[in-house]
Amino acid sequence: MRINKLAAAILLGVSALGLNACATGLQTKVSRYQAMPAPQGQSFVVVPMNAADMGGLEFSRYAEQVAQRMQAQGYARAASIDQATMVVRVGYGVDNGHTEVVQDPFYYNNRFGGFGGLRYGRSWRHGYLWGWDDPFWYGGFNSSIRSYTYYVSQLDLDIRRKADNASLFEGKAKARSRTDELSRLVPSLVDAMFTGFPGRSGETIRITVPPEPKQQAAAASY
């Protein structure tokens, strides 16, 4: 009986951790290689990596967000690609989803009076980074075996000097989420990409993008 109570208390605590972790925002991995010049009057235009996105309303929204971040760095918008000194190419997407089946780490087995086995990824020994390798992400503890679906989204940013096509910046921001809605994911990936921009060349870092105030109630779906 005492073991039952202890197990229930542990499960309640772990469940709360999982829910709080989802509410903290989108966990991203950002990789950047850069040789960006200091802002000295350089101008830029933002174009899609996929030519089919040119002129599209969805791309225009994300291009505007990238352009605002570039301006915040001190670079100027060019009226046209002919007048730009830098070309900023943007690509984005999300995969078709993955289904994971996991076993509750503290599932109580009434028949044997012990805890069930564990099935985790490599990060268990070092402590999970909530939202990316979180074993409790699927939520709920009503049975020992649970499943959940997650999606991997990515933003690619490539900046080149127009005069000689020299590469100035190559970046990737990747996230694992419970939603595949690009309208929610891409703005957060843009935020992650420009956090500490342009960053240390060759470094891969983890950045948590807090949910916007209006999205707090829906943050658990990440």
Residue 210 confidence (pLDDT): 87
Query: What CA–CA distance (Å, rounded) separates 132 from 134?
Result: 6
Average pLDDT in the chain = 76
Residue 106 confidence (pLDDT): 60
DSSP classification of residue 194: T
Q: Please name the residues in contact with 119: beta carbons below 8 A apart, sequence gap of 6 or more.
A: 102, 103
Query: What CA–CA distance (Å, rounded) separates 115 from 127?
Result: 20
DSSP classification of residue 62: H
Average pLDDT over residues 202-217: 75
At residue 129, what is the residue type? L
On whether the CB atoms of residues 205 and 30 are closer than 8 A, the answer is yes
Q: What DSSP string runs through 152-211?
A: EEEEEEEEEETTT--EEEEEEEEEEES---HHHHHHHHHHHHTTTTT--TTEEEEEEEPP
β-pair partners for 150: 98
Q: Which has more confidence, 169 or 214? A: 169
pLDDT tens digits for 138-171? 444 455 667 878 899 999 999 999 999 999 999 9
Residue 212 confidence (pLDDT): 66
Listed by start position, the domains of the chain span 2-221
pLDDT tens digits for 65-108? 999 999 999 999 999 999 999 999 999 999 998 887 776 666 55
Of the pLDDT bands very low, low, confident and very high (cuts 50, 70, 90), residue 58 is very high
Residue 213 confidence (pLDDT): 56
Q: Looking at the whole model, is its pTM more than 0.75? A: no
Evaluate if residue 111 carries a pLDDT over 80: no
Place of tokens 């990747």: 174
